[in-house]
Amino acid sequence: MTHESTAVGLASAYSNATTASGDWWRDAVIYQVYVRSFADSDGDGIGDLRGVRSRLPHLARLGVDAVWLTPFYVSPQADGGYDVADYRAVDPLFGDLADADELVRAAHELGLRVIVDVVPNHTSEQHPWFRAALAGEPGARERYLFRRGRGADGSLPPNDWESIFGGPAWTRVADGEWYLHLFAPEQPDLDWTHPEVTAEFDSVLRFWLDLGVDGFRIDVAHGMVKADGLPDIGRGAQATLIGAEPLPFFDQDGVHEIHRSWRRLLDSYEGARIGVAEAWAPSSERLALYVRPDELHQAFNFRFLNCPWDPAAMRTVIDESLSATTAVGAPTTWVLSNHDVVRHVTRYGGGPRGLARARAAAMLMLSLPGSAYLYQGEELGLPEVSDLPPDSRQDPAFRRGRRRQIPVPAGAPAPGIIAPRDAEPPARPQADAGPTPEPRLAPQAHTPTRPQADAGHAPQADAGGGPAPQAQRQPGPEAGAGSGPQAGSGPEARVGCGPQAGSGPVPDPLTAPEAEGQDGLRDGCRVPIPWAGAEPPYGFGPAGSWLPQPPEWAGLSVAAQTGDPHSTLELYRAALELRRAMPGLGAPGAGPSPDPRGMRWLPSPDGVLLFTRPGFACTLNTRPEPVELPAPGRPVLSSAPVETDGRTVRLPPDSCTWWAF
């Protein structure tokens, strides 16, 4: 007989034990909402918090456990909101604090938890603290990493560190001192040895916990502490070393005391509030330190996302990931896409083949022990939009070397030096053609202009702290998500950075070609998602959308796919329903099994993965042709129709099937 990919009426009868307990996060499915591309409530073409709230029923019906919101705080948007000017206020572009409060309440009423971003490694240059530092307020610079330069006149950066976004990680100010920014110059790094920094972020976390959020995704969780003395690295292309070699500015042991203190703070609140580390470390064992019992609850595991369509590579990644986190009693996280990488339909080859693989990979991910993260629109099988017109692109990296010349006003400081700002800061080059409003330090009415694209600073699925792999911009039939961070990758071109030793004359920072970095094509995974209708913006909002949507997306909308048992949306709904219904798909160790992870690999033909969990089996056929093998049980869900007589099964190519026994 042929088994179709449907599952009906199971979740109401059962629930995983961990979901009902305080350890909800151990096997939670968490949905990333990229706020500006999810739903627009006011017709400006940009998603907002009210839009998110209006679409929460979709997420509840999908069956996820929690929602992770990308940054919505007051920000000049130099790095897509990861440059925060006020951590306790909502940028008017996305609404106001009342909208955030109502969104959290509405989510809780639907049984959804809410996780928000916190950005502790750096602030915006428009943060009051940094403005005070540039203005020379006594003691203000001690909150950041200001240093005197090298050389007789201090004209060289204090060390050889490079920005993740390219060029030196230092910018010189008008009085000759330099400040550290591991990302854009508009993102000065904080000094976490200063007690005011520690106290401020404790207060920020309490502010949002008191509002009712259920946890934080911690941007650059590996970066807040730097090695004593800020030693040189001694080599270039430092972004390529992230996650591969020890670095004096990342993954220092001192970050763990910060995370322990935050764990104590989180544990002081009712309701199992969680912390999720966006961290890069040189080994799985170092990454596991972030999720020890007295530290954070989860850490993003990006190796699964970066894995090619190869069963041996997949099994290695799964085994090593589970081994590292099991050793410290923590769950593993899994992810396939986010707002910084090519959508996995396209990474796996695009077209029908890419979609088949993407559906199978999603089922594999959702069957593994631990917690899974979904990126908005993947439940619709959305591909990457690779043909956006150049004038619509808003990824700042796309504009490298193309930005318009801005006249330098009379009396301006020499190139490579920035002056203290007053109430009206000078203009910065922008990625889009429109003016950028004065950054807000408190919510106030304004007419928002089109923002720059969220750059994030993640080499992964996250969103946040590190470079996005360039390999992800070159999808092919067998492409994985990329091989790792690339030199100088990042969203925003360098402005006003000082010279490197031996570099010769300092170029004009407003007109010079930009450093090599990301290819600027990340807009393709950020196109607003389709909800309903035959024409753009497909229910995204009452007017257009900040990035154009393809005409063929009408058939991929939520409305078009709802009720179709063969659609990707209904596959995700069925998989999440079964994940809740089957006890064997709980957290690591759930159910009787000799393996503490509750998972065992079984022999299988070449190109096929087969593993069991209590009462459950999963088969993945990565081959381009069908494969026959003994049926491991009764099929309950498949990414493509399977043929079985109860004794043997014919697995379709590029497919995943779940079995009960």
Rounded to an integer, the average pLDDT of 341-351 is 95
Question: What is residue 36's predicted lDDT score, i.e. its pLDDT?
Answer: 92
pLDDT beyond 50 at 593: no
Taken in order 58, 64, 65, 66, is the CA torsion positive or negative? Answer: negative
**Does residue 537 have a cis peptide bond before it, meaning omega lies within 30 degrees of 0?**
yes
Label residue 2 by pLDDT band (50, 70, 90). low
The pTM of the full predicted model, rounded to 2 decimals, is 0.81
Q: Is the dihedral of CA 402, 407, 413, 418 positive or negative?
A: negative
Alpha helices in 14-163 (DSSP H): 17-20, 49-54, 56-62, 97-109, 128-134
Tokens of 412: 């301006």
**Termini Cα distance of the chain:** 18
pLDDT digits (tens, 9 = 90+) for 413-438: 333 344 333 333 333 333 333 333 33
- pLDDT confidence band for 601 (50 / 70 / 90): very high
Please report which confidence band the pLDDT of residue 390 belongs to, taking 50, 70 and 90 as the band edges: confident
- Secondary structure E strands in 474-539: none
Task: Please work out, in degrees rounded to the nearest 5, the angle formed at the alpha carbon of residue 89 by the alpha carbons of 88 and 95.
Answer: 150
Instruction: Enumerate the active-site residues.
Output: 219, 278
pLDDT attached to residue 449:
36
Task: Give the dihedral of Cα atoms 20, 26, 27, 32; nearest 10 deg.
Answer: 110
CA distances from 277 to 27, 75, 390, 634 (A): 16, 22, 35, 38
